[in-house]
Structure 1
Amino acid sequence: MKHLYVFILVFMLTSCEYFNVKKTSSEAILNEELQTFNWNDVDAYPTFSSCDSMLTKQEKKQCFESHLTTQIFSFLESEGIVVTQDINDTIVLSFEVSETGVLSLSSSKIDTLTFQEIPNIKTLLNKSIDSLPKIFPAIKRGQQVKIAFELPVIINVK
């Protein structure tokens, strides 16, 4: 019986260390989470309501880009641009979609010949995105976020 009491006493004294709870600060958890967080990717790209039927993230991105490109082309064609030289150029447009779904043209890389032939090209490009339907912003971890992307657009005027 003495041995049982001694065993229980030793067990109680040594087992306390197994029940110690190691405290982790919220800062340490936040730092660990931030290191595993991929800042360059979103859970869902910006989209138009017409692209909701797409299943994968990549399909929705392609739908958004093609819809945007189609809108720009349609607007530029309706403007009836007249040039003195043939233009076959790829311009790179940099866009931003805000957290509220507002699309804005942040910059554009336009060849000097294209800019000489169509001096109001930047104004036309800005007008073309003004008539877009409602854009749903990008989503990252359940939050609406701002996203920037580039879109190459081929200008072919004869």
Structure 2
Amino acid sequence: MKFFIVSILVLMLSSCENFKVKKTSSEAILKEELQTFNWNDVDEYPSFENCESSISKAEKKVCFQHTLTNHITGFLMNERIVVSQDIYDTVLLQMQVSKRGMLKLIGAKIDSLTIQEIPELDSIIKNSLDSLPKIFPAIKRGQQVTTEFSLPLVISVE
């Protein structure tokens, strides 16, 4: 019986090492979390009010792009643009939506012929952004975040 009690005590004392808890600092947890964090993707893309009824993330993205493209295209169609030769170009707009929902044109890749024929094109595009409906910013982990994206815009003037 003594042997049994002594062996249980030895087992209990030696097994306590298996229950030691490894302490990790909050900095280590944060560092590990930041390494697994995908900085290039958001939980929800920026959107307009008319896109809020879309169910999936992909649908909201497509709705946002179509709404923005249609708005800029409609604005350009109302402008009186005179050219000496036909223009058919795809302009690549670099844009940013701030965490407050403000859209800004960062840059535009425009063909040299298009620039020669429509030198004020980038300012016309910037002016079209002033009359956009309210934009809801992108969401990442429950926080509103600033996002940047490229938007192709087809310019066709005859």
Q: Give the TM-score range, shorter chain.
A: over 0.9
**Structure 2: 5+ residue runs without aligned partners?**
none
Tell me whether 130-139 or 30-39 shows the greater mean CA deviation. 30-39
Instruction: Name 2:129's counterpart in structure 1.
Output: 129
**CA deviations over 1:94-135 (Å, ceiling 9, x no partner):** 000001000000000111111111111111000111100000
Between the two proteins, what is the percent identity of the paired residues?
Answer: 61
Residue 36 of structure 1, CA deviation: 1.2
Normalised by the length of structure 2, the TM-score is 0.95
Tell me whether 91-100 or 13-22 shows the greater mean CA deviation. 13-22
Normalised by the length of structure 1, the TM-score is 0.95
Residue 27 of structure 1, CA deviation: 2.0
**Structure 1: 5+ residue runs without aligned partners?**
none
Instruction: Name 1:111's counterpart in structure 2.
Output: 111
Residue 31 of structure 1, CA deviation: 1.9
Give the secondary structure class of the aligned counterpart of 1:149. strand
Residue 4 of structure 1, CA deviation: 3.0
Residue 29 of structure 1, CA deviation: 1.4
What amino acid sits opposite 1:31 in the alignment? K
**CA deviations over 1:53-90 (Å, ceiling 9, x no partner):** 11111110010000000000110111121111111111
Inter-partner Cα distance in structure 1 for 2:126 and 2:28: 45
Number of aligned residue pairs: 158
The Cα RMSD (Å) is 1.1
What amino acid sits opposite 2:48 in the alignment? F
Instruction: Name 1:28's counterpart in structure 2.
Output: 28
Following TM superposition, the consecutive aligned residue runs of length 4 or more in structure 1 with deviations greater than 2 angstroms are: none
Give the secondary structure class of the aligned counterpart of 1:15. helix
